[in-house]
Amino acid sequence: MAQSVFMAGILIGGLVLGDLSDRFGRRPILTSSYLLLAASSSGAAFSPTLPVYMVFRFLCGFGISGITLSTIILIVEWLPTRMRALMTTAVGYCYTIGQFLLPGLAYAIPQWRWLQLTVSIPFFIFFLSSWWTPESIRWLVLSGKSSKALKILRRVAAFNGKKEEGQRLSLEELKLNLQKEISSAKAKYTAADLFRIPVLRRMTFCLSLAWFATGFAYYSLAMGVEEFGVNIYLLQIIFGGVDVPAKFITILSLSYMGRHTTEAAALLLAGGAILTLTFVPSDMQTLKTALAVFGKGCLSSSFSCLFLYTSELYPTVIRQTGMGASNMWTRVGSMLAPLVKITGEVQPIIPNVIYGTIALLGGSAALFLPETLNRPLPETIKDLEKWSLWAKKPKQEPEAEKASQVIPLQPYGPGLGSS
């Protein structure tokens, strides 16, 4: 019950904080989410009753949702196209490191209250460090705060050893480079537009199914660790270890094969692995564990790809809202996964058949999404409508499109984005 409440917090957080981030900025939501997570997670360690504990767990999930969404959006809106896959995967490896550390901490600190407090305290440090995170330049410009955007760009230029070029950058030049984005900011969009506008509706449906399938199948494996006959501490380390090669393969696939192919392949392979578990005899524990670990690796790849892919598909004017709405479905999947386990009392093969089939459906839905590799971030709905599902994947980003993403720091020299 506490785990389902935690997932409900992540679900609600994605809906609420996604819209608030588009209204008030990425950094305020990131900072406040760190503080909320630090306070609520620490509070959970001192909970006197189960209802109080569940309230704190709900707030933990709410905060984690804001941290995850804001981090990915800042990566996408700050980094050039060629660096996004690398940085997103690097952040994913931080998650893997945490999964390595947690079983060791749990083994060393058997009392759950002390364990809860131990893993909560670092978030107070992250809250303080987040004050030095720069706000998204794209969001500042779209919100009419060009002067503040210019100030941040000059600070970044100085950090990158381009202080003189940064000082030469003027407010007029900044507005000229982002003229189209400024014009698009006049139109305000809400979550309802994700379903009202045809191109967004189709994309949201496919992404939501992919997100749902990933969370649904991922937590089916995560909750079934005791079924494989392996020490739970060791299996958690194995589950974390598979992420190392899985995410390395993911970054290569994202960079060379594209987001579209990577996402579809990850879910289709995961679905196949889970369905295969149905036919493996119960006495073949090694094979069952190997299939589960392989499926978990594929689903980790799907998560890494979806965070990047979703943020690249939605236009800037509705990006965080779209991310929150799509990501919500992985939490719905994670909440429903425990309920499907109950059907195993009727027939043991039913849960894995359901989990595997949903993963295959999610992979199939990903095939209908457009490719984003080497494409500039869409700023407006019109930019998105220009993309054709059947268009060939561009081999090289056009110079004109590159220029639209780079704010030059001097009139006739290299820009910040290319430095």
| Exposure on the CB side of residue 350, measured as CA atoms within 13 A | 11
Residue type for 76, please?
A: V
What are 226-259's pLDDT values in tens digits?
Answer: 665 667 777 778 777 888 888 889 888 988 888 8
Contact (Cβ atoms closer than 8 angstroms) between residue 305 and residue 250: yes
Pick from 383, 69, 361, 393: nearest CA to 261: 393
Q: What is the DSSP letter of 369?
A: S
Tell me the pLDDT tens digit for each residue of 60-108. Answer: 999 998 998 888 888 888 888 778 778 877 887 888 888 888 888 998 9
pLDDT at residue 14, rounded to an integer: 79
Q: Say how many CA atoms lie within 13 Å of 188 toward its Cβ.
A: 4
pLDDT computed for residue 396 by the predictor: 47
Question: What whole-number distance in Å separates Cα of residue 290 and Cα of residue 378?
Answer: 40
Extract the residue ranges of the chain whose pLDDT is less than 50.
389-405, 407-419
Which pLDDT score is estimated for 323?
Answer: 80
Structure confidence at residue 399 (pLDDT): 46
The label of the residue with tokens 């192919």 reads: 261
CB 285 within 8 A of CB 293: no
Burial class (CB in 10 A: 0-12, 13-18, 19+), 216: buried
